[in-house]
Chains A and B, each alone.
Chain A
Amino acid sequence: MVGGDGAGKSTLLRALVGLVRLSAGTARRPGKRSIGYIPATAGLYVDLTVEKNLAFIGRAYGVTGAEYVTRSEGLLERIGLTQARSRLGGQLSGGMQRKLAVAMALFHDPELLVLDEPTTGVDPVSRAELWRLIARAAARDTAVVVATTYVDEANRGSTVLLMDQGRAIATGSPSDIIAAVPGAVGVVRDAVRPRGPSWRSGSSWRVWAPSDSLPEGAESVTPTFDDAVMIAALADGEKA
């Protein structure tokens, strides 16, 4: 689920997991005990140690004894926090906090994992590690819904929902969304803005011709996913 601040991503996720009631329409989901959900700003207790965070979640889901030890040790190892088990949650780096939060949401092996902007502000190395955790869950048949503001992360989903001002502006696989781009896309290697809907790409411009006829001087290119996202936003007439 991709969109900027205020697009409605968090509210939709909250409706999906049953934290807000829909005014119209329906949401289907597994039972509460089969959902793992992490809101954008929380997911762990900053004043508890890594170990106690896991112990809390274990008790909450009634996982005890040898089963608890196996699961918590396995998770600690997978997120690389075995050595940091006695540190307070709040003393971990942003990336480590998010990894611990994802591990906690996965503790009870949910059928549905819902993550609200798990990678915002996280550096690319920690981000790759987080996506690895997420992919592992998906590979074990957990359904995963992830909200992000980074367009390049949308490429990771098998289905993408682009949102703006509370509405879906495009949906489908990344290749479906690219294939649905109407008209032609061109590149103009010049500082002067070309005629028609256009946006910057480094020192050149990308231009979109909904009617297929590109302005003079534009070289026709195959649209990328980034182009498709821009065009969906332009077509929807997004206001700043």
Chain B
Amino acid sequence: MDHLAESRSATIRFGDFTAVDDVDLAVGSGEVVGLLGANGAGKTTLIRMLLGLLTPTRGTVSLFGGPPSRATRRRVGYVPQTLGLYDDLTVQENWAFTGAAFDTKEQALPESIADSGHELVGDLSLGLQRRVAFAVAFSHDPDLLILDEPTSGVGPLSRARLWEDIRASAENGTGVLVTTHNMEEAEQCDRLVFMVDGRVAAAGTLSDVIGDRQVVQVDSDDWRQAFSALDGDGFVVQVQGDCLRVPGTPGQVDELLRRHQLTGNVTAVPANLEETFFDIVTSASRQ
């Protein structure tokens, strides 16, 4: 498969600091790839290399099969977390500005935002601003979309509509690279790439990445006592309603509860993506 964007052993150093270290990443036509990692893991630096805004110290990057350039960047649609719109211009003016910058033929505003054409972007709700930012990014028919936390802060229906737009363009052959801290958003992707300290720590589909990781679920009559006992012993306990979830084995947890004269139903359950993330990051930094 021809990749729209690709990095091979890409490495970049700033002085003594290696921000991106030996990273292979590829985004193909029609796929939605999620790039995950803690703040400072190197996600943004990697994207800036793929766009040709930074030059790798070692390794290679390519955009549409060649070195990134102004010409290939024209085929990319980018929606930053801050949306990249002009708040003091109307929706129509933002649309026209992007059209002129990309030299696309004059187009009518898409139906989804047409009603707000004469309103200042700064006066719109965040959900609507995001729709405008998407429409603007999609307007020059990009072959590759790069989206940073695309649905941050919007309600469930607006989020669903934005993902419909993302999916529809992927089905038309656009490749999509999404960076996010939002696990619901990550679960929408076809493939995930986890970065830790500049390196790829895990990659694959959602089920590949989670693998057979398990956590221990504790259902007890008094979650507060069980929490205090486990937390006091150094377990990273997460509370979900009245039950607890902890990394470890049922045996370890059971024994600890007994030592504190506590009872509870202790079972191993499949880990969710957030627990997997925590495990990947903490075990990679231990190494």
Contact = CB atoms under 8 A, between A and B. Distances in A.
Interface of A: 3-7, 93-95, 120-128, 131-132, 135-136, 138-141, 149-152, 155-158, 164, 173-175, 191, 199-203, 226, 229-230, 233-234, 238, 240
B157 A240 contact: yes
B278 A149 contact: no
15 contacts: A4-B126, A4-B154, A5-B125, A5-B154, A127-B181, A128-B238, A139-B223, A139-B224, A149-B154, A151-B184, A152-B184, A155-B240, A199-B163, A230-B156, A240-B125
A94 B161 CA distance: 29
Contact of A93 (B40, B227, B278): B40
A149 B181 CA distance: 12
A6 B126 contact: yes
A230 B241 contact: no
B133 interface: no
A135 B239 contact: yes
Contacts of B131: 240
Nearest to A193: B164
Contact of A3 (B128, B155, B231, B282): B155
A155 B241 CA distance: 6
Q: What 10 A-B pairs come out closest when comparing CB atoms? A: A4-B155, A199-B160, A5-B126, A123-B38, A139-B224, A135-B239, A5-B153, A139-B227, A238-B157, A233-B156
Most buried by B among A155, A158, A238, A240: A240
A7 B224 CA distance: 31
Contacts of B37: 123
A3 B154 CA distance: 8
Q: Which of A125, A141, A149, A158 has the most CB of B within 10 A?
A: A125
Nearest to B41: A123
A66 to B, nearest CB: 23
B188 interface: yes
Given A124-B277, A127-B274, 12 more contacts: A4-B153, A6-B126, A121-B152, A121-B181, A124-B36, A126-B39, A135-B227, A138-B239, A150-B183, A151-B184, A200-B167, A240-B161
A164 B155 contact: yes
A52 B239 CA distance: 32
A164 B157 CA distance: 10
A158 B223 CA distance: 11
A230 B239 CA distance: 23
Interface in B100-153: 125-128, 131, 149, 152-153
Contacts of B154: 4-5, 149
B242 interface: yes
A95 B149 CA distance: 17
A122 B181 contact: yes
Contacts of B224: 138-141
A238 B155 contact: yes
A164 B182 CA distance: 20
A4 B182 CA distance: 14
Given A6-B125, A164-B155, A125 B241 contact: no
A30 B256 CA distance: 36
Contact of A126 (B38, B157, B237): B38
Contact of B184 (A120, A126, A226): A226
A31 to B, nearest CB: 24
B208 interface: no
B60 interface: no
Contacts of B189: 202
Contacts of A135: 227, 231, 237-239
A20 B241 CA distance: 29
B239 A4 contact: no
B228 interface: yes
B238 A156 contact: yes
A12 B228 CA distance: 31
A191 B213 CA distance: 30
B184 A150 contact: yes
Interface string B31-63: 000001111100000000000000000000000
B155 A123 contact: no
Contacts of B161: 240
Given A5-B125, A229-B156, A200 B164 contact: yes
Nearest to B186: A124
B125 to A, nearest CB: 5
A167 B155 CA distance: 13
